[in-house]
């Protein structure tokens, strides 16, 4: 089956580092179905419609745990398409993305309507721990929680487990990511929940990099029920500031069939300035242009000056992105829409965002846990139960960091937190 993996991710990632993961930034690509429904619904068929939105923007290669600025001078507040849609961003005191709100422009009311929201929590080392997803209920005029993503990390391996609320939390998908010592993702595997705690493999991506850490090769494999089958591959070539990517899919009897090509121009700092995507036309045996992206970059500000969402990795301030599509009648690229980036001036420190959700981390835990909890909820009582329901720990606490687990044996446990105003519960793996 023909897929558009990297190309669609590229068109809204703005940096070479994002290439190679069709699920990574496709959340933004879902937006273009409102602008070019026919084109994009046919091209982008990598996202199951019932998947949570975070499966579309979970960390892509090279952006995990990297840019943690504590004294930026400007903050990316929102990205917008004039009178169409916008995404608003909020950050915690460590520079982590705390909240993303998507809004659509209501032409009749001449106002922005809420659409979708993500609330992220991060552990003390700057790794993601939990994401809650909400949709806006227009009838009740409030947010409704539909999905949650729990993240477990063991060294350089991360596991994202996605749950759907129906009416209880039901596991649906799982994503395992393995990184190398340079924090480049080298393997990514997706599973679908088959019931009875059984995760069924779905697809896998394998990434390879050159000595400079640039993406060199991507291989996608599909699980056929018995073994992994090659399905898609991408090859990257570099020549100075030029990068060319060729994409192929596997189809019998021909092992690899050309599908797409991308030519990208990078600046001297590694940021993408322009990229053009071509489709391979077998009948004419030639490359046919399809889309072009042009980035406008402000070199007065570097990454150290900026506070931006975790999925956006650039070396300088990006201020505008224009998307053009090939028009056969015009025999040229025609501008389709423009993304505008709105930044807010900051003081010398990042404002501390109040935690809105309770997170217990690390999970799995060894020797201790820490708890993210709003100040208004303190003091709180922390309980841990074994699988038989027996209490193995009971403490009233005001501190939230490095809570010792004592001599609790390794295994699966459940925790409950009684705070001043609420109760919270979850699963805890102790190793």
pLDDT digits (tens, 9 = 90+) for 51-69: 444 433 333 333 444 444 5
Q: Please give the pLDDT value at position 17.
A: 32
Asked if pLDDT for residue 8 goes beyond 70, the answer is: no
26 phi/psi in degrees, rounded to 5: -70, -10
Decide which of 33 and 296 is more confident: 296
Q: How confident is the model at residue 112 (pLDDT cuts 50, 70, 90)?
A: very high
50-54, 177-181, 395-399: least confident range: 50-54
Q: Please give the pLDDT value at position 423.
A: 67
Contacts of 262 (CB under 8 A, 6+ apart): 6, 7, 10, 243, 244, 245, 247, 275, 276, 277, 278
Decide which of 252 and 405 is more confident: 405
3-class DSSP assignment, residue 141 = coil
Q: Please give the pLDDT value at position 389.
A: 73
Q: How far is residue 282's CA from residue 297's CA, in Å, rounded to a whole number? A: 37
Cβ–Cβ under 8 Å, residues 298 and 308: no
Q: How confident is the model at residue 12 (pLDDT cuts 50, 70, 90)?
A: very low
Asked if pLDDT for residue 22 goes beyond 50, the answer is: no
Express each pLDDT in 69-97 by its tens digit: 557 888 898 898 888 899 999 887 778 88
375 phi/psi in degrees, rounded to 5: -60, -35
Express each pLDDT in 239-255 by its tens digit: 999 999 999 999 887 78
403-404 and 332-345 beta bridge pairing:
unpaired
Judge residue 342's burial from the number of C-beta atoms within 10 Å of its C-beta, 0-12 exposed, 13-18 middle, 19 or more buried.
middle
Asked if pLDDT for residue 280 goes beyond 80, the answer is: yes
Average per-residue pLDDT in the chain? 78
Complete domains list, the chain, with CATH: 6-345 (2.40.128.720), 359-430 (2.60.40.3080)
Cβ–Cβ under 8 Å, residues 410 and 421: no
The string over 86-108, giving b where at least 16 C-beta atoms fall within 10 Å of a residue's C-beta and e elsewhere, is: bbbbbbbeebbbbbbbbbbbeee
60 closest CA partner among 260, 312, 270, 237: 312
Express each pLDDT in 204-215 by its tens digit: 999 999 998 889
Express each pLDDT in 226-236 by its tens digit: 999 999 999 99
- CA atoms within a 13 Å half-sphere pointing along the CA-CB vector of 371: 29
Please give the structure tokens belonging to residue 262: 């991308």
DSSP state of 351: P
Q: Please give the pLDDT value at position 348.
A: 40
Cβ–Cβ under 8 Å, residues 312 and 322: no
Mean pLDDT of 163-183: 89
Cβ–Cβ under 8 Å, residues 25 and 252: no
How far CA 49 is from CA of 27, 30, 41, 52, in Å, comes to 11, 10, 11, 8
Q: Please give the pLDDT value at position 108.
A: 93
How far out from the chain centre does Cα 214 lie?
20
State the CB neighbour count (10 A cutoff) for residue 402.
10
185 closest CA partner among 223, 213, 149: 213
Express each pLDDT in 137-155 by its tens digit: 888 888 888 899 999 988 8
Judge residue 376's burial from the number of C-beta atoms within 10 Å of its C-beta, 0-12 exposed, 13-18 middle, 19 or more buried.
exposed
64-68, 165-169, 377-381, 414-418: least confident range: 64-68
Q: What is the pTM of this model?
A: 0.69
Q: Please give the pLDDT value at position 321.
A: 92
Q: How confident is the model at residue 341 (pLDDT cuts 50, 70, 90)?
A: very high
90-104, 196-210, 347-361, 363-377: least confident range: 347-361
374 closest CA partner among 354, 359, 353: 354
């Amino acid at each position: 089956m023909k897929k558009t993996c990297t190309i669609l991710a590229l068109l809204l990632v703005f940096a070479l580092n994002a290439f190679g993961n069709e699920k990574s930034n496709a959340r933004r690509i879902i937006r273009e179905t409102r602008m070019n429904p026919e084109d994009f619904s046919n091209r982008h068929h990598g996202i199951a419609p019932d998947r949570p939105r975070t499966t579309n923007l979970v960390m892509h290669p090279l952006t995990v745990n990297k840019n943690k600025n504590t004294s930026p001078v400007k903050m990316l507040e929102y990205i917008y398409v004039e009178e169409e849609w916008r995404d608003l961003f909020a950050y915690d005191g460590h520079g982590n993305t705390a909240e993303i709100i998507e809004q659509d422009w209501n032409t009749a009311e001449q106002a922005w309507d809420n659409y979708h929201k993500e609330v992220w929590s991060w552990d003390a080392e700057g790794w993601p721990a939990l994401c809650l997803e909400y949709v806006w209920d227009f009838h009740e005029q409030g947010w409704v929680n539909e999905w949650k993503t729990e993240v477990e990390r063991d060294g350089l391996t991360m596991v994202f487990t996605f749950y759907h609320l129906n009416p209880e939390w039901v596991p649906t998908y799982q994503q395992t990511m393995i990184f190398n010592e340079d924090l480049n993702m080298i393997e990514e595997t997706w599973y679908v929940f088959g019931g009875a705690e059984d995760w069924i493999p779905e697809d896998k991506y394998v990434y390879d990099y050159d000595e400079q850490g640039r993406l060199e090769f991507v291989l996608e494999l599909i699980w056929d029920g018995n073994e992994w089958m090659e399905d898609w591959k991408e090859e990257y070539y570099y020549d100075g500031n030029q990068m060319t990517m060729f994409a192929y899919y596997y189809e019998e009897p021909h092992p690899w069939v050309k599908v797409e090509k991308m030519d990208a121009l990078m600046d001297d700092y590694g940021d993408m300035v322009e990229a053009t995507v071509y489709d391979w036309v077998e009948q004419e045996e030639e490359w046919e242009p399809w889309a072009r992206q042009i980035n406008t970059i402000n070199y007065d500000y570097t990454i150290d000056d900026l506070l931006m969402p975790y999925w956006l990795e650039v070396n300088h301030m990006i201020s505008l992105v224009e998307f053009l599509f090939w028009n056969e009648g015009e025999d040229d690229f025609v501008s389709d829409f423009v993304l505008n980036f709105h930044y807010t001036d900051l003081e010398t420190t990042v404002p501390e965002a109040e935690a809105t959700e309770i997170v217990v981390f690390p999970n799995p835990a060894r020797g201790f846990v820490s708890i993210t909890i709003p100040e208004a909820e303190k003091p709180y009582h922390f309980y841990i139960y074994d699988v038989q329901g027996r209490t193995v720990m009971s403490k009233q606490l005001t501190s939230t960091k490095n809570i010792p687990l004592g001599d609790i044996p390794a295994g699966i446990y459940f925790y409950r937190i009684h705070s001043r105003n609420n109760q919270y519960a979850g699963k805890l793996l102790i190793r």
